[in-house]
């Protein structure tokens, strides 16, 4: 464990820039388009600052753009408060996205039409297994999954059930829509992943119009393609999701509903900073249990907390640049963040001197 957490000196390498430059040189990419897709279920923290700087900073270097897209596919956890806070945080870091502000909910109708197309082409089906059955039959990392008894449900029946799910005729948990891929795949993400769940919950933007909501994997890549994102940048935990990202995009494109070339997912190592907890679940627990005064408590690694503590946007940008972008997980010593802050303030801060407790001194016969 000690070897894993050993702090390392920042490296300014950036393999993503090399990929982008190669795509531009070959003509594969005409305009670099990235996206920053936060879920509005909490305040952005220090780790998000790195992603923001990469996704907004990279296309700026090549005359491209970055879309700000809110991944609002889970109505039970998302609020307008977090949407506003995320916008403020991105602005504070010095980046602009307008008019390219989007929500995954903007595409709910399109995503539904894409889903019906996949059912019609034999690539998806409505599964009526219980949650326990779904979990049990999915298998494990060492054991293959088992086909659902509903896997070969007639296309017409799946289409009817999906329509009834949308119309609110079935309770939560009674059905899901799944992609038909391979229940024996060594990659568990390809074992007939869920595309839609029933969730009778009020959405902060669409209200009660929808009672089925797309999963992250179904909505993410397709939203990228709809927005013509060229380079979809995300952290390494999504690396084994990439085959599913490509599978969904390819199947929808095969149906003639997306134009090629399709978006490309590229993964980079997340930022690991010593002595800092960035787990959103843990940060929410700190706030909810009143261990801190709020998200803007100076002890919190949330951007609003760091701003209140005295960190500057320029320091975070400088730190992101110095730590570089790699595929190797490393730990960066917190001292490097303070160094970036000092270097940023060195060029900006006004100097002043004062005598706090003066002593009167009278000179005679001088």
Query: Catalytic positions, please?
Result: 39, 270, 280
Compute and round to an integer the Cα radius of gyration of the chain: 25
Closest CA to 82 of 72, 95, 92, 97: 72
Structure tokens at 94: 């010095």
Mapped onto helix, strand or coil, the DSSP state of residue 251 is: helix
Could you tell me if 303 and 51 are in contact, meaning their C-beta atoms sit under 8 angstroms apart?
A: no
CA nearest 271: which of 344, 325, 342, 343?
A: 325
Say how far apart CA 330 and CA 274 lie, in whole Å: 10
Cis peptide before 261 (omega within 30 of 0): yes
Token pair listed for 107: 């595409």
Question: 201: left (phi > 0), else alpha (psi -120 to 50), else beta?
Answer: beta
**Closest alpha carbon to 305 in 276, 334, 331, 332:** 276
Alpha-carbon distance values, 181 to 187, 195, 280 (Å): 11, 12, 32
Helix (H, G, I), strand (E, B) or coil at 125: strand
d(CA 190, CA 182): 6
Q: Residue 146 and residue 144: Cα distance in Å, rounded?
A: 7
Angle at 113 between CA 108 and CA 115, to 5 degrees: 95
């Amino acid at each position: 464990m000690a070897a894993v957490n050993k702090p390392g000196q920042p490296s300014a390498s950036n393999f993503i820039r090399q990929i982008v430059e190669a795509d531009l040189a070959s003509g594969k990419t005409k305009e670099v388009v990235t996206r920053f897709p936060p879920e509005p279920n909490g305040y952005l923290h220090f780790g998000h600052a790195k992603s923001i700087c990469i996704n907004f900073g990279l296309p700026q270097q090549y005359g491209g753009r970055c879309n700000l897209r809110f991944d609002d596919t889970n109505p039970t956890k998302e609020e307008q408060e977090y949407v506003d806070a995320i916008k403020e945080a991105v602005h504070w870091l010095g980046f602009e996205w307008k008019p390219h502000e989007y929500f995954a909910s903007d595409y709910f109708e399109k995503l539904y039409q894409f889903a019906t197309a996949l059912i019609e082409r034999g690539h998806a089906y409505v599964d009526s297994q219980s949650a326990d059955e779904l979990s049990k039959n999915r298998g494990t990392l060492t054991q293959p999954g088992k086909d659902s008894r509903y896997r070969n449900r007639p296309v017409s029946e799946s289409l009817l059930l999906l329509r009834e799910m949308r119309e609110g005729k079935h309770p939560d948990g009674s059905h899901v829509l799944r992609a038909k891929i391979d229940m024996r795949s060594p990659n568990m993400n390809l074992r007939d992943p869920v595309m839609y769940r029933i969730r009778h919950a009020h959405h902060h933007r669409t209200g009660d119009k929808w009672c089925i909501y797309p999963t992250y994997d179904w909505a993410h890549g397709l939203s990228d393609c709809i927005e013509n994102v060229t380079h979809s940048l995300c952290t390494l935990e999504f690396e084994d999701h990439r085959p599913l990202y490509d599978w969904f995009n390819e199947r929808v494109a095969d149906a003639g509903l997306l134009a090629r070339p399709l978006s490309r997912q590229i993964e980079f190592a997340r930022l690991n900073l010593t002595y800092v907890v960035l787990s959103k679940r843990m940060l929410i627990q700190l706030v909810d249990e009143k261990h801190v005064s709020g998200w803007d408590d100076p002890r919190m690694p949330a951007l609003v907390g760091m701003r209140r503590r005295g960190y500057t946007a320029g320091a975070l940008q400088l730190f992101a640049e110095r730590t570089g972008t790699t595929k190797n997980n490393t730990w960066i010593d917190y001292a490097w963040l303070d160094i970036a802050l000092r270097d940023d303030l060195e060029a900006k801060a006004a100097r002043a001197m004062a005598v706090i407790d003066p002593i009167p001194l009278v000179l005679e016969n001088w």
